[in-house]
Amino acid sequence: MSRLLQDAASNAAETESAPPEITRSATSAELTIVVPTFNERDNVELLIARLDTALHGIEWEVLYVDDDSPDGTAAKVRELAQTDPRIRCLQRIGRRGLSTAVIEGMLASSAPYLAVIDADLQHDESLLPQMLATIKAEHLDVVIGSRHVAGGGVGDWDRSRVKISGFAARLAQLIVAADLTDPMSGFFMLSRPAFERAVRRLSGQGFKILLDLFASTTIPYQFKEIPYVFGRRQHGESKLDSLVVWEYLMLLLDKLVGRYVPVRFVFFAAIGSSGVVVHFLTLYFALKAVEFPVAQALATVVAMTTNFALNNMLTYRDRRLVGRRFVTGLVSFYAVCSLGAVANVGIASAAFAHHYTWWLSGLAGAAVGVVWNYAVSSVFTWHRK
């Protein structure tokens, strides 16, 4: 230890027995607003200006979590951050997903309160101070912006979206006991201890981070809902497509059975079974034109290819391969499945040789094949970057 440090240490020991107190400096944030983004460049400046107005008198920071948007959202955020230390950017490469973006944003913050808001100005940022005041004054875990309590609304949604959203909300009761009017809300605030109670159990699947938190917390949350009206998107377009239904299903399944069997495996196996149908349809039609061995080979390739495409779109939606990586992924998938087929036939033949019935032997082979394909393709084809 240097002389200086020794002096400082003995001085401290003499003058005070209590541990040194850490006081919050004027610039450390009390509230971190996490904003998940994908292609939102033109909304960045506007949202930050509005936050600045709305949060006057509060120590806040905004943390954009951007999934490497091709439109340059991250660069725009960093450009503004050059002159404003309250602005931060977390850029993720080779990843997609609203929920995981929010989770990682919260993990990258040190503030005692955390809020989530969409980048596209559809949520009402002017409610943030009221949310913060409420969560503090009433010692709550979560305050939620809800479109379905008196005073809230969904704006100009068409009838079918309202219906689907209502149905999805009822399904949510499968995994959450709390009586939430708007479990799909992407606009809420929570305390750090509340976040920490759920963080290790979160599924991270899909869009529904609020629901995920409520389904994962070890102790039920004390919460309150505040009405807001869902606004119109300013620039860019919605990333919610028809596949969000699928992602939602994955979240529900994960919370229901994920403890026993990975949801990805359930989907992988289901898609694998659909491959059998594709195989026989192709074989049936190909036989009208070519010899059996050629038809069978063709059917095998077609089934593997559709399996790959479906798994890429659904099972591994968050790691989906595009462009050149789609092609190399497909080749690696062919390789994995070919070895899987060898294992399948080997096991089935061995079982059959040991006098198991034909169908049990076949089943054993197929089971080994699908587990192999799943395990190895998750490492070689859809590996995490």
381 makes contact, choosing from ligand GDD, Mn ion, none, with CB < 5 to 8 Å by partner type, with none
C-alpha closest to that of 212 among 258, 243, 166? 258
At 63, which helix (H) or strand (E)? strand 60-66
Cα(362)–Cα(364) distance, rounded to whole angstroms? 5
- Supply the minimum distance, in Å, between the C-beta of residue 122 and Mn ion: 4
2 to each of 6, 8, 10, 20, 295, how far by Cα in Å?
6, 10, 12, 20, 81
Nearer to ligand GDD, 98 or 314 (CB): 98
Q: Name the packing angle between helices 41-54 and 128-137 (round to 10°).
A: 50
Q: Is 212 in the site for Mn ion (CB under 5 A)?
A: no
Q: CB of 173: closest distance to ligand GDD in angstroms?
A: 16
Name the residue with the smallest CB distance to ligand GDD. Answer: 186
Tell whether residue 67 is a contact of ligand GDD (CB under 6 A): yes
Among positions 171-210, residues that touch ligand GDD (CB under 6 A) are 184, 186, 207
Q: Which is nearer to ligand GDD, 172 or 253 (CB)?
A: 172
Q: Which of 378, 347, 346 is nearest to 364 (CA)?
A: 347
Residue 189 CB coordination number (10 Å): 26
Residue 63 pairs in a beta bridge with 34, 88
Using CB under 5 A as the binding rule, the residues of this chain from 109 to 128 that contact Mn ion are 118, 120, 122
Query: In the complex, what is the shortest distance from the CB of residue 131 to Mn ion, in angstroms, rounded to a whole number?
Result: 19
**Site membership for ligand GDD, residue 108 (CB under 6 A):** no
The residue within the footprint of ligand GDD, chosen from 74, 89, 90, 120 (CB under 6 A), is 120
Nearest one of 219, 228, 227, 177 to 195, comparing CA atoms = 219
- CA dihedral in degrees (271, 276, 277, 280; nearest 10)? 150
Both tokens of 35, joined, read 């904003």
- How distant, in Å, are the alpha carbons of 7, 38, 287, 332 from that of 299? 80, 38, 10, 18
Count of residues in contact with ligand GDD, rule CB under 6 A: 22
3-state secondary structure at position 351: helix
Question: Do residues 227 and 152 lie in contact, with contact meaning Cβ atoms separated by under 8 Å?
Answer: yes
Report the number of secondary-structure helices (H) and strands (E) in the chain.
Answer: 13, 7
Find the helix or strand (DSSP H, E) in which 226 lies: strand 223-227
Compare residues 118 and 141 and give the one whose CB is closer to Mn ion: 118
Residue type, 130: Q
Candidates 63-71, 279-287, 301-309, 349-357; binding stretch for ligand GDD (CB under 6 A): 63-71
Nearer to ligand GDD, 225 or 366 (CB): 225
Q: What is the smallest separation between the CB atom of 126 and ligand GDD, expressed in angstroms?
A: 17
Instruction: Determine, following the binding rule CB under 6 A, whether residue 104 of this chain makes contact with ligand GDD.
Output: no
Q: Interface with ligand GDD includes 38 (CB under 6 A)?
A: yes
Q: Which one of 5-13, 129-137, 237-245, 326-334 is the stretch in contact with ligand GDD (CB under 6 A)?
A: 237-245
Stretch that binds ligand GDD, among 234-242, 250-258, 272-280, 371-379 (CB under 6 A): 234-242
Map tokens 């192709």 to a residue.
Answer: 282
Q: Binding-site residue total for Mn ion (CB under 5 A)?
A: 3
> Of 41 and 279, which CB lies nearer to ligand GDD in the complex structure?
41
Binding positions for ligand GDD, rule: CB under 6 A: 36-38, 40, 65-67, 96-98, 101, 118-120, 122, 165, 184, 186, 207, 238-240
